[in-house]
Amino acid sequence: MQVCEIINVGTELLLGEILNSNAQFLCRELAAMGISVQRVNTVGDNPQRLREDFTLALSRSDIVILTGGLGPTQDDLTKEVVAEALGLPLEEDAKQMQCIEEFFRVRCQPCVQSNRKQAMVPKGCTVLYNENGTAPGIYIAMDRKIVVLLPGPPRELKHMFNHALAPLLQQCGDGVIVSHHLRTMGIGEGRMAELCGDFLDSTNPTVAPYAKDGEAYLRISAAAACKTQAEDMCACTIKKLQNVLGNYAYSVDKPLEQVVLELLHAQDKTLAIAESCTGGSICKRLTDLPSASRVFGWGFVTYANEAKQNLLNVSRETISRFGAVSAECAQEMAQGALARSGASLALAVTGMASPADDTNKPAGLIFLHATDGTRHKSLKLETGRSDRAYNRNVAAKQALDLVRQLLI
Amino acid sequence: MQVCEIINVGTELLLGEILNSNAQFLCRELAAMGISVQRVNTVGDNPQRLREDFTLALSRSDIVILTGGLGPTQDDLTKEVVAEALGLPLEEDAKQMQCIEEFFRVRCQPCVQSNRKQAMVPKGCTVLYNENGTAPGIYIAMDRKIVVLLPGPPRELKHMFNHALAPLLQQCGDGVIVSHHLRTMGIGEGRMAELCGDFLDSTNPTVAPYAKDGEAYLRISAAAACKTQAEDMCACTIKKLQNVLGNYAYSVDKPLEQVVLELLHAQDKTLAIAESCTGGSICKRLTDLPSASRVFGWGFVTYANEAKQNLLNVSRETISRFGAVSAECAQEMAQGALARSGASLALAVTGMASPADDTNKPAGLIFLHATDGTRHKSLKLETGRSDRAYNRNVAAKQALDLVRQLLI
């Protein structure tokens, strides 16, 4: 098995300013490719220490992956240090220079000298072109070792890893590990684990329970000689687990909003959304997906009571009698959104995301309502928490699950 | 300044199963105490590699902090490896043994032999008793070096750091480091760095440029004997940088939505938001903040053309003549949102977040418009990218910046 070492370069990491999510991403992806990561090192923007660490890593590993320090400024030194340690001169890559000039041209910003430095690459390397930024990645194969440089911003790194580096590294691993997530809603981690019983003791595939913000899921991982075989092993176990979990299991890998969008599309239905405490976050989740416009056309972020009345026809009496945070208000919001938009279904959320002084309703009390005009699904959440982000996230997920329940 | 190195022990980290939040926590806390973390290393549950890394770290640092590998199972070896490397025998700590027995007694669980192993500590060390688990922390001061072992679970580690370790380390640090971010909009990292010129060479405070998804910022860090002095040094440099950067610099540390919200509140104004391609994400950003309801009441997610016409009074002619993705449509959306809501200002966004088949408009072409009814600010973005998340993120930031520009 090939041995790999990762070096994350950046003083901001050592100051604790950012969380090192790149390390986790790379470790997970490399493990899945059958490449053994034995060490992850973080070092600051200091050329001497970086040189020491790189030289040591190269002496004991087959693959060394460095991240960060590829920017245009003078403290970005990863490329220079690595090229020098390997005895490779830097030369301008014409295609990369074009990419950089184009990058600034479309943004109507000047391309300054420091940006031109980013087109310099070690002689003989394979350039991993960056579709999301101006720093190219670098892949160097020499003396039976592989050295890779990736940009630090996670979005750039992930895209480059998946599209440019993974195909090159695939040849290095022996055997593959395939993992999938069976996602559930409406059931806690404990109950989910109970239902799965003996599956949690199996060794290949392994089945492990996880919980995250109101959602519980199982990770199924199979190791095999080839991808097809590992996929088949996963599929077989997932099928058995789906039988056990029934409608709680809403997807394999796919996020809930994708499942809802596909159900709507398959049934040729549209959805209107009325949000108060979630403040647009359900609309945002659905429109994160490129095909949202097929099924979603109208969203109402009615944060103010006047907006609820004016746009959604919620009655003044309902608000004064039950309050804006009430099952009655949620239902009228959904009915108003349905009537106003002409959609086939409407979803409404109103509640307390944070504690507030001007009401006796507790933070985490949230009312959800979904309807197609005939059938209704409603839910009252009481999270008992003051954490605004948590409450909004859980409410958005539960709201989308209400729509899923109306559709299945 | 004391030099520190952190070693995180755990195969689960190298498999990417968990995010290394302990490293970020420790780095941030140690920096604030004036202790310079120069390296963070992650190594698996492998005694040989752990011994190598520990010996190397101890040779070049004043303080070595190890986390994880203190559990009851046989792959938990940190304590054993460190004690052996330092030539210290392990002996049972009577108080820790009592704690462990008590821990299991109150839980009505049996205390097995493997748990008793957790009461063994290196001779002469200071035991950091664990109020949240059975693994004690260890503090060893010898040969002018300090070695610390902390448990891996973040809740146990943080509590032990704050309550037991920080008071011991406080004596080691000399002075404190304070960092702030000067955030800018409308200027690239390269151009920002050029304007800052010599500031980037200064050593205390240091000034370092960063870029993130359409936003560029400077990190200013000062080291001093006390917090007040370090804050004063930062403030002085920040003031000079603000003079250089003018209105491009929109805040120190605060996110853009917070700045906009505070400007609106200070001027007693309200904002209505009409979103097409950003699909609710601007409303979401603003309502992520608990005080959003003071200044925001109405949001329109008009994804469909009929919604633009019906809710915002965009004329059919504008859409058929210029298209929904046009400066004209953005302006009518903003004017419609202003009229409909009665807010003091309105903001509108319409554009292409992804490539689409049914139009000849390119992905990344986005029109923004902000108005108070009299004055107008508009912007045409051409990101040149197909990345939906990037386009929506940049559009949301630029849109909020248009409102900021109307307000300053």
Which pair of tokens denotes residue A403?
């729509």
Share of chain A above pLDDT 70, in %: 98
Q: Is the ipTM of this complex over 0.85?
A: no
The three-class DSSP label of residue A252 is strand
Cα distance between residue B252 and residue B212, in whole Å: 16
A108-166 pLDDT, tens per residue? 778 777 788 899 999 999 999 988 888 999 999 998 899 999 999 999 999 999 999 99
Per-position DSSP letters for A200-233, written without gaps between them: GG-BTTEEEEEEETTEEEEEEEEEESSHHHHHHH
pLDDT band at A69 (very low <50, low <70, confident <90, very high): very high
User: What residue of A is the nearest CA neighbor of B201?
Assistant: A74
**Chain B residues with beta carbon closer than 8 angstroms to that of A281:** 280, 284, 287
> What is the pairing mode between strands A215-224 and A176-184?
antiparallel
Query: Is A184 a residue whose pLDDT tops 80?
Result: yes
Contact A313, A341 (CB under 8 A): no
**Which pLDDT belongs to residue B103?**
79
Q: What is the mean pLDDT of residues A201-214?
A: 79
Query: Which one of B45, B56, B303, B314 makes the best mutation probe of the A interface by having the most chain A beta carbons within 10 Å?
Result: B303
CB contact under 8 A, A73 and B209: yes
| Interface list for A 228-257 with B (CB within 8 A) | none
Lowest-pLDDT choice from A55-64, A107-116, A140-149, A382-391? A107-116
Query: Is A292 a residue whose pLDDT tops 70?
Result: yes
Per-position DSSP letters for A134-165, written without gaps between them: SPPEEEEEETTEEEEEE-SSHHHHHHHIIIII
**Which pLDDT belongs to residue B172?**
65
Closest CA to B207 of B239, B169, B250, B185: B239
CB contact under 8 A, A16 and B29: yes
Rg of chain B over Cα atoms, rounded to whole angstroms, equals 28
Query: Is A290 a residue whose pLDDT tops 70?
Result: yes
pLDDT per position in chain B (408 positions), as tens?
Answer: 789 999 999 988 998 888 999 999 999 889 878 788 999 999 998 999 999 999 999 999 999 999 999 987 777 899 999 999 999 999 999 999 988 888 778 777 777 777 788 899 999 999 999 877 888 999 999 988 999 999 998 888 999 998 899 888 877 666 777 889 999 998 878 889 889 988 988 889 989 888 777 788 998 988 888 889 999 999 999 999 999 999 999 999 999 999 999 999 999 999 999 999 999 999 999 999 999 999 999 999 999 999 999 999 999 999 999 999 999 999 999 999 999 999 999 999 999 999 987 788 999 999 999 999 999 999 999 988 888 999 999 999 999 999 999 999
CB contact under 8 A, B287 and A296: no
- Sign of the alpha-carbon dihedral angle for A183, A187, A193, A196: negative
Q: Does B353 touch chain A (CB under 8 A)?
A: yes
- Sign of the alpha-carbon dihedral angle for A159, A165, A170, A175: negative
**Which pLDDT belongs to residue A358?**
77
The overall pTM is greater than 0.80: no
Contact B138, B149 (CB under 8 A): yes
The answer, yes or no, to whether the previous bond of B205 is cis (omega within 30 of 0) is yes
> What is the pairing mode between strands A137-142 and A126-128?
antiparallel
Count of CB atoms within 10 A of residue B200's CB?
A: 16
Which pair of tokens denotes residue B1?
């300044």
Closest CA to A169 of A87, A65, A93: A65
Q: Does B97 touch chain A (CB under 8 A)?
A: no
**Which pLDDT belongs to residue B134?**
83
User: What residue of B is the nearest CA neighbor of A109?
Assistant: B188
Q: Which residues of B24-40 are buried (b: 16+ CB within 10 A; e: fewer)?
A: bbbbbbbbbbbbbbbbb
pLDDT band at A172 (very low <50, low <70, confident <90, very high): low
Which pair of tokens denotes residue B297?
């009441």
Cα distance between residue B314 and residue B300, in whole Å: 13
Amino acid letter, A140: I
Cα distance between residue B129 and residue B91, in whole Å: 16
Q: Does A53 touch chain B (CB under 8 A)?
A: yes
